[in-house]
Structure 1
Amino acid sequence: MRSLTRLLILSNVLLALAKPHILFVLVDDLGWANVGFNLEEANPEVVTPNLDSLVASGIHLKRHYVHKACTPSRTSVQSGRLPVHVNSVVWDVCNDNTGIPYNMTGLAEKMKQGGYKTHFAGKWDAGMATPAHTPHGRGYDTSLNFFGHKNDFYSQSNIQTCCEEDQSIIDFWRTDRGASDANSTDYSEFLYQKELVGIVERHDPAVPLFLFYAPHVAHEPLQVPRAYYDKFNFMTDDESTCSRQTVKELHPIDPAHPNLEYKCRQQYAAMIMIMDEVVGNITGALKSKNMWENTLMILSSDNGGPVHLPENAASNWPLRGGKYGFFEGGIRVPAFVAGGYVPSQLRGTSNSGMIHIADWYATLSKMAQVDPTDFRAANAGLPKIDSLDVWPFLVGEVPESPRDVLPLGPTSLLWGQWKLLDGLQYPSFWQGPKYPNSSSVEPRIGACQDGCLFDVVSDPTEQRNQFHARPDLVAKLRSRLQAEKAHFFNNSDSFPRSCPSTEEHCACWAARQRYGNFLGPFAMLEAQELPAEQTWLRSK
C-alpha cells in the first residue's frame, strides 16, 4: 500500500513538473514601431532592451492578431472566443453587458482546474457587473486591478466611466474589495511590479504558476514620472497636442512636477521604457527562483497603437492604420513567446503563421492538461470557444497554423492571406517611424468606402488594393463573411441591481455606499442572488 501511495505521489509530482509556469503580458495600446524587436534599424527613441532580449531567445510572432480596440481583445483572451462571439463593443464598465457574458468560463478557471495558482495585475476591462465578472470571479486567486478602460496612473481615480464626474471614486481593486492599501501610494506600473514580483518570491516552484500582467501602459492619459520623462529630453520635433485626459488640473504628466510640457512621443516613449523595465524585473524574479527554465511567457498588445491626436502618440510604421480600424496597423500587433519552455532549437526564430489572441485559451488549457471545452456556456446556450491549440504549430509538429479564418466585424474578414474591408475604415494612413511630430496633422480621411482587398502576406503594408482586379475573391470572401455573420453574438446580460431603484448609476452608488468610494460589482450582491461560488460579498 505504501508503495502505491508513493507511486501516486511521484506521478502527481511528475505531472505537475510537465506543466510550465505561465507569464502572460497583455500590453495596452502598444504600437508596432514602438518596440525595438520590430525595427530593422535602431531608434534611440525606442528603449525596450528587456523585450528585445526576450524575443532574441524566443519566437517572434509576426502575424499575431487582436481586435481593433481593447475591451474585445481582453474578453477574447479571457474567454477563448473571437470578439464577434463574446463582446465586440467597448461599453462603459457600469453596464450589465460589458465584458464577458456571465456564464462563460474564464481562462484562469481552466488553469485552476489544472492545479495552477492564478494571479492578475493591471487592466481588467472585461466587466465588473457582478462578483462573477471580476478577475477573482473568473478564476484568479488574487488580483490588483482596475476595471475600466483607463484610470489615473497616480491616484487611480476613475476615468471614462459613468462615475467620471466624481473624481473621489477610485478604480482600483484588490481581489474582493477596494485596494485602499495601495491606491495613491505609487505609479500604477510600480504597484503591479511589486505585486507580481512578491507573488513570485513567495511561490512554491513545485506548483504551476499562472501570472497575467496587463500593464496600463501605454494607454492615455500619458502620465509618467519625470525621472523617465527626462531620459528622452534629447528628442526634437515632437508634437504637443496629446493633452486629452492628461490635463494638469486632473491628471498631470507627473503630479510632483505639474508644469511639465506636453511632448507626445517623449511621454509615450518614457511609458514604454517603464513597461519594459517592469517586465524585466518580473522575468528576473522568475529566474532568481529558478522557475524561468520551466516558464512560457507570452506577450501581446491588445490592439494596434493609437495614432489619433490629441489622444496618443504611437506609431505602427510601416503598417497602415492603427487602433479603431481593421487595417493591419490596428490588429496585427507586437507579440512573442519566450522562456525556458520554448524548445532550444526554436529560440531566436520568427513565425509568420496566423494566430489570434483567443487561441491562447485552448493552448494554455492543453498545457495545463485540461479540456478547453466550455460546458457551462454550452448549457446556457452561449457560443462555444473558438480557441485553437497553436502550440503544435509553433514548435513545428504541424506545418501550418490551425487558424486560417478571422471574421473581424460586419464588413471585414481575414481568410488566409486575403483581407476584405467592405466599408469605410478609419484611421487609414501610414505613419513614419517618428510619429507624431510637430508637422503632424490628424488625417480624418477614411478608406475602403468602395471596398478593399489586400494580400497581407505579400503586401503587409496594404498599399495594393485588389478589390476591383479580383471580383472572384471578393465574392468568395463576401460569401464567407455573410455565413460568419449569422453566428455573431451580442451580449445582452441583465442582472438584478443591488442599489435603490431611484439610482441612475448603480455602480457609483455601490462605490460610495458599499466599497468606501472604490468601483466594484453593483449587481447580484444579496445572498439570495449570489451563485454558490460567489459568496465573498454577502457580509458587505
Structure 2
Amino acid sequence: MLPALLKQAGYQTHIVGKYVTSPCCLHCSNRLATRHTLWASKSLHHAACTAQTGWLPDTHCGQVSHFTMLPALLKQAGYQTHIVGKWHLGMCNWEYTPTYRGFDSFYGYYNAYEDYYTHAANGGYDFRDDTSVFRDPSNEYFNYLLTERTVQLVEKLDTSTPLFLYLPYHLCHGPLQVPAKYENMYSDIQNSSRRIYCGMVSMMDESFGNITQALDSRGLLDNTLLVFTTDNGGPVQYGANNWPLRGGKGTFWEGGTRGVAFVWSKNLLSRTGYTNNEMMHAVDWYPTILHMAGLQPGSSIDGVNQWDMLSNNGPSQRDEFVYNIDTIPNSTAIRYKDYKLLTGNPGQFNDWYPVPQSVSSANLTSTDTQGRVEWKPQLYNIRNDPEERHDLAESDHQTLQMMLGRLQDWIKSGVTPQNAQVDPRGDPKRWGGVWTPGWC
C-alpha cells in the first residue's frame, strides 16, 4: 500500500542494496545492537552495555547516558521530536527513557516481546504515554493504537516547525499475533508462522500508508525524507525468510545482519528510482540525518555521512565495519572491503532456510553449538559469495591473517562490556505489576 501511494503521488524510491545492521535489536546474548548504533552512532564494541540475561528488562543496561542522542541534537536545532512504538534502550533509570533523551513525546513501550493485545511481557505491563502508564481497557491490537496516535500527532503538528518522527513499530516482532483479516489474506500458506508473519507485514504496510496519507494531507511530504530501515535480519523460527542468505536474526551471517533500507522524497533526492549497492551500516544514519538538518555530529562517532550515496547514487564513505565483537565468549565478525571474518560461535541458526512450506516450523534445524570446544576462524568473500557457502580460511591464508590483524586493531579500540545482571529491584511485582523506571 505505501509504495503504491507514493508512486501515485509522483514519489520515487531509492533502495540501499548492501545495507548492514546488527544481528539483533537490543539485547542478543551478550551484545548491544542496532538501536544503540542508530541513536548514538556507536558500534557495539565502542558502547557495550550488555545483559547476561538476554532481553530481560530488569537489568541496569541502558543507552550510555553521556552519549548525546540524535533526537536531542535535533531538538536543540529547533525540531519537534516524537517517538511512537518500541524504545528498548534501557529503562531502569528515568534518564534512560525517551523524554529524557531528546524526545518531546513518547507513546509506546520500553522493552520487547510485548503481547499485542494485553501489552504485557515477562510478568509486567509495559505501555506508556510519555512517562505515565497508559491503560488500554479494550486490549486493542497494539498496532491500531500506535497508528491512531501517530495520525493524531500529525494532524496536530505545528507545520511551521521542522519534524523528526520515529516510528519503531512492534510489527513484525514476536510474539506472532495479528487480527484475523490480515492472516486470512494468506490463507493459501500452510505454515501458520509464515501465514501470520505475512499478515503482520501487510498490516505494517497499511499502517505506514495511512500515516503517509496523513502527512500528505498536511502538506508535509514535499519537504520530507521518509526512511525505512529494518533493525536486523528476519527470525527464521518465527516465519521470516532470508533466503538465499545464510542464517537469521541473532546470527552474524548475512541472513542475520543484511537488512532492508530505502528512502523516499519528492524533492530532496538528486537521483531516484534506483538501487545503490554500496556499503552502508545502520550506524551511518546518525551523521547522515544530522547533515540533512545542517548539523555536525562531532568526531567521536563510528558512523559516516552517506548523504551523497543516498541522494545521488554516489560512492560509499566506508569500506569496513564491525558486525560484532564480544571477547568474553570470543564471538566476533568484521568486514573489510569484500571480505568477512568470523571467529567463535556465529549464532543459533547457521544453515540456509528456504521459505517455509510445511504446516509447522518445527523442522527448522538449530545448529547452535555452545558446547563446541573450538570454532575455527571463517573467511568469506561477500561480493563473490554473498550466501557464505565457501569458507576461504584454509585456501587464502594471507587474507585470513590480514583480517585477524584488523580484528585485533578493532578489539584494542573497544570498551569493556558492563555485563548487567538481573536486579530484583526491577521486578514489576514491586511496582504494581508494571515495568517501571527509577530503581537504579
TM-score under structure 1 length normalisation: 0.72
Please tell me whether the aligned partners of residues 154 and 186 of structure 1 are also in contact (alpha carbons under 8 angstroms). yes
Among 203, 206, 211, the residue aligned to 1:282: 211
The correspondence for 2:303, drawn from 387, 393, 411, is 387
Contact 1:235 1:266 in 2 (8 A): yes
1:50 paired to 2:5? no
Equivalent residue for 2:200, pick from 261, 271, 275: 271
Secondary structure of the residue aligned to 1:387 is coil
Are the equivalent residues in 2 in contact too, given 1:58–1:342 (CA < 8 A)? no
Q: Which residue of 2 aligns with 1:347?
A: 272
The aligned residue for residue 178 of structure 1 is 133
Q: Secondary structure at the match of 1:338?
A: strand
CA distance 1:436–1:58, change in 2 (3 Å): farther
Helix, strand or coil at the partner of 1:443: coil
Letter in 2 for 1:57: Q
Aligned match of 2:329: none
Please tell me the residue identity of whatever aligns with 1:83: L
Q: Structure 2 counterpart of 1:348, which letter? A: G
Q: Distance in 1 between matches of 2:183 and 2:294?
A: 45
Change (3 A) 1:234 1:388: same
Q: Please name the residue that 1:362 is paired with.
A: 287
Query: What SS does the aligned partner of 2:167 have?
Result: strand
1:256 aligns to what? none
Note if contact 1:155-1:183 (Cα within 8 Å) is conserved in structure 2.
no
Structure 2 residue 322 is matched with structure 1 residue 407: yes
Q: CA deviation at 1:357?
A: 0.9
Q: Does residue 40 of structure 2 align to residue 79 of structure 1?
A: yes
For residue 160 of structure 2, give the secondary structure of its aligned residue in structure 1.
Answer: coil
Q: Which residue of 2 aligns with 1:319?
A: 245
Deviations 1:16-65 (CA, angstroms, capped at 9, x unpaired): xxxxxxxxxxxxxxxxxxxxxxxxxxxxxxxxx42476598211111111
Give distance in 2, aligned partners of 1:156 and 1:87: 29
Q: 2:426, 2:333 → 1: CA distance?
A: 36
Report if aligned partners of 2:147, 2:207 keep a CA contact under 8 Å in 1: yes
- 1:113 to 2:68 alignment: no
Residues 183 and 193 of structure 1: CA distance in aligned 2, closer, same or farther (over 3 Å): farther
Is the aligned partner of 1:307 residue 2:271?
no
1:509 shift after superposition: 5.4
Aligned twin of 1:371: 296
Change in Cα spacing, 1:193 to 1:206, as seen in structure 2 (3 Å) is same
Classify 1:116/1:435 alpha carbon distance in 2 versus 1 (closer, same or farther; 3 Å).
farther
SS of the residue corresponding to residue 111 of structure 1 reads: helix
How many angstroms does 1:507 deviate by? 4.6
Q: 2:393 aligns with which of 467, 489, 500?
A: 467
Partner of 1:222: 176
Q: Does 1:64 pair with 2:19?
A: yes
Say whether the 8 Å CA contact 2:223–2:266 is kept in structure 1.
Answer: yes
Amino acid at match of 1:80: S
Root-mean-square deviation over aligned CA pairs: 2.4
Match of 1:421 among 342, 345, 354: 342
**SS of aligned partner of 2:34:** helix
The 8 Å contact of residues 68 and 304 in structure 1, kept in 2 or not, is answered as yes
Alpha-carbon distance in structure 2 between the residues aligned to 1:172 and 1:450: 44
- Tell me the SS of whatever aligns to 2:259: coil
Distance 1:313 1:436, change over 3 A: farther
Displacement of 1:206: 2.1
Report how many aligned residue pairs link the two structures. Answer: 416
Structure 2 CA distance for aligned equivalents of residues 414 and 183 of structure 1 = 49
Measure the CA separation in 1 of the matches of 2:137 and 2:41: 31
Q: Is the 8 A contact 1:58 1:336 kept in 2?
A: yes
Q: 1:99–1:65: structure 2 CA closer, same or farther, 3 Å change rule? A: farther
What is the one-letter code of the residue matched to 1:393?
Answer: M
1:193 alignment partner in structure 2: 147
Distance 1:507 1:184, change over 3 A: farther
- Alpha-carbon shift at residue 438 of structure 1 (Å): 4.5
Report SS of the residue matched to 1:433.
coil
User: 2: CA distance between counterparts of 1:470 and 1:493?
Assistant: 36
Contact (CA 8 Å) 2:379, 2:393: kept in 1 or not? yes
Check 1:507–1:477 CA distance in 2 against 1; reply closer, same or farther (3 A cut).
same
Give the aligned partner of residue 377 of structure 2: 451
Shift of 1:449: 3.2
**Counterpart contact for 1:155–1:184, Cα < 8 Å:** no
* 1:62/1:353 contact within 8 Å kept: yes
Which TM-score applies when normalising by structure 2?
Answer: 0.88
SS across alignment from 1:346 = coil
**What letter corresponds to residue 154 of structure 2 in structure 1?**
V
The 1:413–1:54 alpha-carbon spacing in structure 2 relative to 1, beyond 3 Å, is farther
SS across alignment from 1:358? helix
SS at match of 2:290: helix
In 2, Cα distance between the equivalents of 1:297 and 1:366?
15
Deviations 1:473-525 (A, max 9, x none): 1111110011101122345399xxxxxxxx9333525632xxxx43221236x
* Number of the residue aligned with 1:430: 352
What residue in structure 2 maps to residue 242 of structure 1?
A: none
Which residue of structure 1 aligns with residue 185 of structure 2?
Answer: 231
Go from structure 1 to structure 2 and tell me whether the alpha carbon gap of 1:395 and 1:153 turns closer, same or farther (over 3 Å shift).
same
Q: CA–CA distance in 2 between the matches of 1:59 and 1:316?
A: 21
Match of 1:511 in 2: 431
Aligned-pair distance for 1:130? 1.3
Q: CA deviation at 1:361?
A: 0.9
Quote the Cα distance in structure 2 between the aligned partners of 1:54 and 1:511: 45
SS at match of 1:389: coil
SS at match of 2:390: coil
CA drift of 1:425 comes to: 2.3
Matching residue of 1:241: none
Alignment gaps of 5+ in structure 2: 27-32, 326-331
Structure with higher Rg: it is 1
Once the two structures are TM-superposed, the CA of residue 455 in structure 1 deviates from its matched residue by 1.5
